[in-house]
Structure 1
């Protein structure tokens, strides 16, 4: 597999588990701090497609900033491009870890999904 980019938060335990899993399986990746370098709108579109068009699956719905902004009510009413632009403006609105690369797009860390998406035989 070519280049993988992992968007993660430095203090996120789920992100730590994802890093450990990637290392355990010998997968190299480039890591970006999701707070200071959030995914682009194009990357979010790719992830949204992989998540069957469900915005809630790429949104950090349990995040403090997400809840403080009332995004659970606002995002569904927004046009897709506007919603993705908002998510791209603040990485804390995006579900993490967020892994994207050639032929793979995974939001959140669930080992079976990562195994299926990254260790295809």
Structure 2
């Protein structure tokens, strides 16, 4: 199975996830989220496969999220608007993201990731 690992290299959680993938012999294709931001279409597809609420795709601890005051704005937005905002800058997107054939994992929770092996 082919995996896509979407991450930000300076993110400690992403570094831990990458180490976990390597330690477990899982091969993957890397994608730096800052260099290659996901499109709204990709994000919508990933969100469906993740079975998570769209708000879980926002990097709520990020500086950009805070400076844009998205905590206050998101409740008033429709999904289309949220996907459009996420697609403007990879730093708004929660990471790492691991994409498998039919599953998408957002954030690194080792117990969840173990289930993909």
| TM-score exceeds 0.5 | yes
TM-score scaled by length of structure 1 = 0.87
Deviation at 1:104, TM superposition (A): 1.8
Residue in 1 that maps onto 2:53 = 54
Gaps of 5+ in 1: none
**Counterparts of 1:52 and 1:7 in 2: how far apart (Å)?**
18
Instruction: Tell me, in whole angstroms, the C-alpha distance in 2 between the residues paired with 1:34 and 1:73.
Output: 25
> Any residues of structure 2 matched to 1:1-121 within 5 Å, and which?
1=1, 3-116=2-115, 118-119=116-117
- Give the CA deviation at 1:51: 4.3
Whole-angstrom CA distance in 2 between matches of 1:62 and 1:51: 20
Q: If the length of structure 2 is used for normalisation, what is the TM-score?
A: 0.90
**Does the 8 Å CA contact 1:47/1:58 hold for their aligned counterparts?**
no
SS of equivalent to 1:27:
coil
Count of residues in correspondence between the two structures? 117
Unmatched tracts of structure 2, length 5 or more: none
Aligned-partner Cα distance in 1 for 2:33–2:85: 14
CA RMSD, aligned part only?
1.5
After superposing on structure 2, the runs of 4+ consecutive aligned residues of structure 1 that deviate more than 3 Å are 50-53
